[in-house]
Structure 1
């Protein structure tokens, strides 16, 4: 899309926190971003114009008159990609087709025997629902030592993966323009707890030697899909090799650090790609730490930290629910150490291990 005097309008399937942050990112670019609630049943019809652009903050959505109106619009960018990557069977098949490394896997169907899975993948096998399932949901472990078996209602609805003894988890967030230009942020180091992302750190010099490998992998995927916009690739690091764990065709939780750490965050990058606006290489201003806020109440003391930026999603606080995130810029080690020490005092027990992990990463010799 070329720039004109008309303010571009981008509609977002979904009005959760990612839709809200896309809306905020559109304001300095004079892009009118409208995040649409597609979870509440309604007969409303949106005033879509022929040149409006449609994107999504999630891979799946309930079918309704509203979601059909958006998803069948001729400018629904990446329309076929969402369903292809939302299904772990077709996502894994794509990775195999492109020879992009991923954990060995197979489809679980009516003929799959648990003994065959153990023979192929070893004594621990992770089953994942083909669709849905995130933040640790939709997963089931098969353990030979415990005589584990395939749940009867998972057949034809799941894949099975070899358990990977990985060193750590990293992710790459990148963007591809309609013309095929790809731009990437530095690799991000991630810590998960009970399947939920708790903290991210970027950039890290010790990951620099893996950057080209990761960019080659994500470039191949985005080019094959003729993708336009931001995509995230979560990986296991095993030595000096990366294995793709999951792909997300959208802005991503592990890219939130870019809001404080770079001059152009992932939300603006996504909108630029959709609307045909120039995309230079984002400049990193600071190292940054992102701490997810999971099922805890808003604490006004967080904003007293000199390096903290709070994004509060204004959701009902429930156990296991993402209700916000903190970005902590790292101008120097003293500032970071003081802020983490304060958070260790203020935050509940579930945060002690992630906060200690952050400090350990920055104080390694």
Structure 2
């Protein structure tokens, strides 16, 4: 009988974990947290999650009580931006200066401590550009209902956004992918490019940062670290204790994907170093309907999530892979013609420039 792995959450990440488990002979079962019936778990089963936080439901209670819920104590700590920042600070790792928003702290006090431009972030939730509030001018104030519910960060004048996805096994051994260059528009990830030779000088710095965090948490599995690049220094923006959107390119561009790595690590399988295959670009499909013409693009693979299409919603992604960078660029141009120009002109142009640089 194959090892059974339950995934708390049944979104696209859970589905991709399920797919990655098939060649490993793992029985991966994503579970909708709002199901009316809780699954029946055995003592030998494993539990993981595709999300950092979850409400109390019959399903989440059942899964969270299982003795083999890997990294259970980590999720709450990193899902709260306050305790996440406190962890990073305690390890002496660079991050944007921040303050807790509590005790009726005023916008002027935050600006005095952090500078003229301050970003408030809800302590939990608020991904893809939600749950944020800027204090840019003297007239901006801290909303009353954000007191005790948010942190404030100094706005960083960064050159670019770079992420690192790594995996740690139970023996403490870590493996990392090459750094990934990312483009966010309105707080939503639109494109990722990896590997890039010009980022290689930052690789050791990034691995030391994430490696220290993985070790401090005794974490097993895949974790992503989003950073700002300021000159030749990296500052952590946020951590994600799970497989991550900026690592989706590994499905096509590496011998072992991030999804397979996570399952290998939590189930005690080997985690050898990956072989990187060619040049990769990942384009998120956001609020756009499915186009069969995507299937005809050379060196492109479409991943469709089967979700209702709504503005701003991630409904799929396309991985473009090639050993010939010219062909990758040509495919990007073709893809641009098949996507809404208003949404994707900037993302396609940015990706082409990243490959040229």
Normalised TM-score (structure 1): 0.96
5 Å-filtered alignment, 1:112-123, equals: 112-123=105-116
5 Å-filtered alignment, 1:13-32, equals: 13-32=8-27
User: Paired residue for 1:90, among 83, 87, 95?
Assistant: 83
- Kept in 2, the 8 Å contact 1:10–1:55? The answer is yes
For residues 142 and 113 of structure 1, what CA distance do their matches in structure 2 show? 11
RMSD: 0.9
Structure 2 stretches lacking a partner, 5+ long: none
Task: State the 1:337 CA deviation.
Answer: 2.2
Residue of structure 1 in register with 2:74 after alignment? 81
Task: Give yes or no for the alignment of 1:245 onto 2:237.
Answer: yes
Runs of 4+ in structure 1 over 6 Å off: none
5 Å-filtered alignment, 1:187-226, equals: 187-226=179-218
Normalised TM-score (structure 2): 0.98
Residue of structure 2 in register with 1:305 after alignment? 297
Residue of structure 2 in register with 1:274 after alignment? 266
For residues 343 and 325 of structure 2, what CA distance do their matches in structure 1 show? 24
5 Å-filtered alignment, 1:1-365, equals: 6-38=1-33, 40-42=34-36, 44-145=37-138, 147-348=139-340, 349-364=342-357
Task: State the 1:111 CA deviation.
Answer: 3.5
- Kept in 1, the 8 Å contact 2:194–2:281? The answer is yes
For residues 337 and 55 of structure 1, what CA distance do their matches in structure 2 show? 37
Structure 1 stretches lacking a partner, 5+ long: 1-5
For residues 235 and 340 of structure 1, what CA distance do their matches in structure 2 show? 25
Secondary structure, aligned partner of 1:340: helix
- Kept in 2, the 8 Å contact 1:289–1:330? The answer is no
- Kept in 2, the 8 Å contact 1:118–1:144? The answer is no
Task: State the 1:41 CA deviation.
Answer: 4.8
Deviations 1:205-262 (A, max 9, x none): 0000000000000011011111000000000000000000000000000000000110
Task: State the 1:203 CA deviation.
Answer: 0.5
For residues 92 and 315 of structure 2, what CA distance do their matches in structure 1 show? 37
Mean alpha-carbon deviation: is it higher for 338-347 or for 192-201?
Answer: 338-347
For residues 166 and 109 of structure 1, what CA distance do their matches in structure 2 show? 27
